[in-house]
């Protein structure tokens, strides 16, 4: 199966970060492969993560997301291929690259006996002298300033995730790599993290790489995404491109679905007509015929309340692609 490589068209976002620019994408890999014995966890991955976007890295549990992140961060060596982070090759220039990266791999861990503030103080000590002054601002940034003197052992998972992001922000990173940041969060916690990621990208011009198996969250949070399955990237592009309706399907909602169905059943311009969840779904020979269909329904005395191209969710797209792969296998 060839990897589907969609063109990246991300507009309206500019990186405003003040770090030294080494050029290139935030993350770039070419033929990246990681084997554990006979098992291939990451299989020839070609990835381009543009700067200044929220990038979703989508896949089932065990699809190879965390392994790829671990390779990018130099926690484990690739078996083949090459990778660069912020324009610097890794692992050759890992230390320089990581100085400008904040990352959470799997779940954020802390010393439970220390307070949130003290944990960041210990983390800042490892990161360098300039980071200490950033402790209070980043705690405020993630909304933990009022609980920063409490022991981390008393924090909820959502608070730990936010403290993890605060720790990432200590070194004022250009790139944040967050592995499953929504894991275990309640809806309010997810919303918090989602808003924070959007603000990091839109307000601060950072690049955020989010791995997740929660398709809905990636769709809501990210501008660009890649889908990984069985260690291979099977699609990559903007969210709009990934969910775009290739079949030209139309959704119509009106006051009498049964009558509308009867009316359009014999129309030669309409194909695959069906009623679904109180709406009509159909394919047209040409998109510009939607107006004629609307006119026909209105003329027949029906009240059309909604008429729009069908938009698949990322979830549908993901399931379609991975199911297709399973069938092909």
Partner 1 sequence: MTLDLTVAKQMTGGELLRLRKKRGTIALALAAVLVPLVIMTGYDVVKHASDSVHFGPAGGLNTFGRLLDLLGVFMGPVAAILIGAEAGAGDLAAGVFRDNVLTGRSRIALFLSRIPAAVAVTLTVVAITFAVGLACVFAFAGGLPTPGLSLILQSLGWLVIANSIVCVIAIGIASLTGSRTGTITALIGWELVLSPLVVQATSLGSFRRGLLDSVLLFLKPGPATGPPAIPMPVVVAIVVASLWLLVAAAAGAWRMQTRDA
Q: Which of 22, 35, 96, 213 binds partner 1 (CB under 8 A)?
A: 96
Q: Which of 55, 110, 155, 318 binds partner 1 (CB under 8 A)?
A: 110
Q: Minimal distance in Å, beta carbon 171 to partner 1? A: 7
Q: Which of 112, 247, 295, 319 binds partner 1 (CB under 8 A)?
A: 112
35 binds partner 1 (CB under 8 A): no
37 binds partner 1 (CB under 8 A): no
Q: Which is nearer to partner 1, 68 or 227 (CB)?
A: 68
Q: Which is nearer to partner 1, 93 or 253 (CB)?
A: 93
Q: Which of 82, 111, 305, 308 binds partner 1 (CB under 8 A)?
A: 111
157 binds partner 1 (CB under 8 A): no
Nearest to 49 by CA among 233, 240, 180, 314: 233
Q: Which of 80, 95, 247, 303 binds partner 1 (CB under 8 A)?
A: 95
Number of residues that bind partner 1 (CB under 8 A): 33
**x/- map, 164-183, partner 1, by CB under 8 A:** ---x---x------------
Instruction: Say which residue the tokens 């990621």 belong to.
Output: 197
Q: Which stretch binds partner 1 (CB under 8 A): 44-52, 102-110, 240-248, 291-299?
A: 102-110
φ/ψ region of 46 (left if φ > 0, alpha if ψ in -120 to 50, else beta) reads beta
CA 268 vs CA 43, 225, 272: distances in Å: 46, 38, 11
266 binds partner 1 (CB under 8 A): no
280 binds partner 1 (CB under 8 A): no
Q: Which is nearer to partner 1, 100 or 147 (CB)?
A: 100
CB burial of residue 220 (10 Å; 0-12, 13-18, 19+): middle
163 binds partner 1 (CB under 8 A): no
60 contacts 325 by C-beta, under 8 angstroms: no
Query: What does the block give as tokens for 102?
Result: 């904040």
161 contacts 108 by C-beta, under 8 angstroms: yes
72 contacts 85 by C-beta, under 8 angstroms: yes
Q: Minimal distance in Å, beta carbon 89 to partner 1? A: 14
Interatomic CA distance for residues 44 and 29, integer angstroms: 9
Q: Which of 1, 9, 14, 128 binds partner 1 (CB under 8 A)?
A: 128
Q: Which of 3, 4, 99, 251 binds partner 1 (CB under 8 A)?
A: 99
CB burial of residue 204 (10 Å; 0-12, 13-18, 19+): middle
H/E segment holding residue 322: helix 314-328
Q: Which is nearer to partner 1, 129 or 187 (CB)?
A: 129
- φ and ψ at residue 223, rounded to 5 degrees: -95, -35
Interatomic CA distance for residues 286 and 117, integer angstroms: 61
125 binds partner 1 (CB under 8 A): yes
Instruction: Say which residue the tokens 């959007």 belong to.
Output: 198
CA 323 vs CA 42, 249, 317, 318, 319: distances in Å: 19, 21, 10, 8, 6
122 binds partner 1 (CB under 8 A): yes
Span 56-75, contacts to partner 1 by CB under 8 A: 73, 75
Chain residues that interact with partner 1, rule: CB under 8 A = 73, 75-76, 94-99, 101, 103, 105, 107-114, 118, 121-129, 132, 167, 171
């Amino acid at each position: 199966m060839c990897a589907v490589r969609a063109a990246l068209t991300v507009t309206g976002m500019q990186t405003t970060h003040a770090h030294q620019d080494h050029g290139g994408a935030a993350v770039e890999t070419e033929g990246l492969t990681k084997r554990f014995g006979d098992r291939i966890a990451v299989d020839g991955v070609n990835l381009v993560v543009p700067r200044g976007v929220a990038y979703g890295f989508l896949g089932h549990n065990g699809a190879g997301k965390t392994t790829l992140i671990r390779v990018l961060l130099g926690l484990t060596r690739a078996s083949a291929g090459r990778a660069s982070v912020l324009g610097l090759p890794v692992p050759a220039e890992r230390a320089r690259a990581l100085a400008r990266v904040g990352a959470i791999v799997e779940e954020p861990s802390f010393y439970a006996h220390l307070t949130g503030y003290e944990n960041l103080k210990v983390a800042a000590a490892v990161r360098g002298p300039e980071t200490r002054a950033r402790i209070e601002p980043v705690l405020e940034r993630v909304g933990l300033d009022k609980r920063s003197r409490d022991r981390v052992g008393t924090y909820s998972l959502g608070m730990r995730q936010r403290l993890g992001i605060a720790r990432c922000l200590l070194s004022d990173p250009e790139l944040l790599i967050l592995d499953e940041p929504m894991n275990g969060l309640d809806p309010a916690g997810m919303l918090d993290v989602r808003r924070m990621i959007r603000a990091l990208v839109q307000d601060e011009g950072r690049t955020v790489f989010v791995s997740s198996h929660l398709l809905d969250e990636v769709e809501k949070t990210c501008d660009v995404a890649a889908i990984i399955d069985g260690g291979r990237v099977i699609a990559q592009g903007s969210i709009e491109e990934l969910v775009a309706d290739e079949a030209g399907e139309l959704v119509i909602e009106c006051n009498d679905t049964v009558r509308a169905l009867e009316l359009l059943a014999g129309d030669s311009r309409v194909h695959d007509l069906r009623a679904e969840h109180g709406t009509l779904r159909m394919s047209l020979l040409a998109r510009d015929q939607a107006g004629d269909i609307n006119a026909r329904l209105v003329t027949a005395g029906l009240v059309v309340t909604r008429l729009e191209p069908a938009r698949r969710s990322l979830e549908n797209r993901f399931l379609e692609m991975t199911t297709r792969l399973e069938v092909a296998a």
